[in-house]
Structure 1
Amino acid sequence: MHTVETDDTPTNRLRVVPANDVPFADVEAVFGTKGDPAHCWCQWYKIPGSNWRSVGDDAMRVRLEAQLAASDTGPGLLAYDGDTPVGWCAVEPRPNLARLPRSRIIAGGTAYPDFTDADIWAVTCFVVPRAFRRRGVGGALAEAAVAYARDRGARLLEAYAIDSSVHEKIPAAELFHGTVTMFRNAGFAEVARPTADRVIMEVRLRD
C-alpha cells in the first residue's frame, strides 16, 4: 500500500492511499448522497457528452466501483484523517478519459495532443466534504498523486487548475479541478493558460 503522510496542522495527520486498496464504502462516504459528486462519481471525463444524460446516478456509482476493482493504475486516491475518509483525488492515464480531447480548454492548452499516450497521466478531480475543507486535504492529495503516478511509470502528470486569484469568489462547484496554488506546492509548473482562470500545469516524472 502506498501511503503519504503529512502534518498540515499540529492536530491533523493525513494519510493518502490508493482507493482500490480500501473498502468502497469509504469512497462512498466521501462522495456522499447529495451534490455534484454524488451525481457524477468522477465519470464526467469518461463518458462522452452524447451519452452523459442517459446514465443515472446509481449507474455512475457502479461504474466507479468497477473501475477501482479492475485497475492498478487509478482511477483515484483516498485521504484519511485517522480512520475517517476525508477526500478523493482522481488520477490516472489520460487515455482513460474520453472527454479530454473534446475539451477546448484542455486540448487547446496541453503541449501533448496525443491523448492515446498512456505514459501521460492527468489529475482531474478533487472531492472534499464540507466538514473537512481548509485542512490541507487537497494539497496532500495533489502531492500523493505525483508520487502515485511516478510509482506506476508515468512520464508526465498534467493538471487543469483553477486560478482562484483571478476572481473575488470562485464557486465551490468549480474548485473540483484543484487550484494553481495547490498544484504549485506539489511541484507542478504552469505551461499554458487557455483562459484567464484556467491553467494547464504539469510535472515531469521521468525522461
Structure 2
Amino acid sequence: MAEIVIAPATADRFDDAEHALTGGGDGRSCQCQWWMVPNVQFQKMPVEERRERLHDELRSDTVSPALIAYVDGEAAGWVRVGPRGKQVRIGRTRDIAAHTPTSLDDPSVWAVSCFVVRREHRGIGLTTRLLQAAVAHARESGARIVEAYPIDTAVAKTSANELYHGVLSVFEAAGFAEIARPEPGRVIVALELAS
C-alpha cells in the first residue's frame, strides 16, 4: 500500500507544486490562477506569469493557499483552499454569487476550489484525502464555513478537465451539504465547522 502524506504548499515546495500541477488536465497552463484573477486578466496572462504569481503567492502568504499530496514521496496531487474573498473570480461568478447565503467578503468563509491529481496516481482516493486535509487546514486556520462548487457526475457528463472542481459524491461523503444547484450538474456545497 502506498504511503500518502499531505503537506502545505509553501515556497520551499514550489518544485513539488509544479510537479503535482503538471501531471494531467489544465494544471500546467492554469498554475492554479483561474480563481485568483478576473477572466480578462487571466486570458491575457502568459503561463510564465501565472507560474510566477503562484510562486509569489507561496512565498508571501502566511497561511498556505493550497496543499500537496505525496505518494511514496512523489508530489501527486494538489488542492486549493483558502479564504473565499481572496479567490476573486468566485465573487464574480454569477451562479455562485447569486446562490451563496453568506457575504462574499466574509473572511471566515473558505473555499475549496481546485483539485489536480497526476494521471498515474488517480484511482487511489487522493481527492478524498486532499479534501479531508483541506477541511482540517481551514479549521486550523480559523475558517467558520468551507464552501465548494463540485460537479454532480450522476446527472452531468463531464470531461476529465472539468473535474478540477471536485465531484459531488466526494464532498457529500465528507459531510458537505448542498446549498444550491444553479445548474443540474453544478452544485454549491458547504460545511459548517465546529467552533
Normalising by structure 2, we get a TM-score of 0.94
Letter in 2 for 1:202: A
User: Are 1:130 and 2:104 an aligned pair?
Assistant: no
Residue 163 (structure 1) aligned with residue 148 (structure 2) = no
Q: Tell me how far 1:30 sits from its aligned partner.
A: 1.0
**Displacement of 1:118 after TM fit?**
0.8
84-93 vs 30-39, which deviates more? 30-39
CA distance in 1, matches of 2:29, 2:83: 23
Aligned amino acid, residue 147 of structure 1: A
Q: Which residue of 2 aligns with 1:5?
A: none
Bigger CA drift: 129-138 or 99-108? 99-108
Classify 1:184/1:34 alpha carbon distance in 2 versus 1 (closer, same or farther; 3 Å).
Answer: closer
Residue 183 of structure 1, aligned match among 163, 166, 171: 171
Identity %: 39
1:77 and 2:67 are equivalent in the alignment: yes
Deviates more, 1:73-82 or 1:172-181: 73-82
Which of 1, 13, 19 aligns to 1:29? It is: 19
Structure 2 match to 1:193: 181
RMSD, aligned α-carbons:
1.5
Measured after TM superposition, the shift of residue 42 of structure 1 is 0.8
For residues 39 and 79 of structure 2, what CA distance do their matches in structure 1 show?
22
Q: After TM superposition, give the deviation of residue 181 of structure 1 in Å.
A: 0.9
C-alpha distance in structure 2 between counterparts of 1:34 and 1:203, whole Å: 28
For residue 19 of structure 1, report the CA deviation from its aligned partner. 0.9
Structure 1 residue runs of 5 or longer lacking an equivalent are 1-10
- The range that moved more, 155-164 or 42-51, is 42-51
Matches of residues 92-171 of structure 1 in structure 2 within 5 Å? 92-112=82-102, 114-167=103-156, 169-171=157-159
Q: How many residues align?
A: 195
Deviation, 1:35, is: 4.7
Q: Which runs of 4+ in 1 moved over 2 A?
A: none
- Report if the CA contact (8 A) 2:11-2:55 is conserved: no
Retained in 2: the 8 A contact 1:146–1:186?
Answer: no
1:55 and 2:45 correspond: yes
The secondary structure found in structure 2 opposite 1:161 is: coil
Structure 2: runs of 5 or more not aligned = none
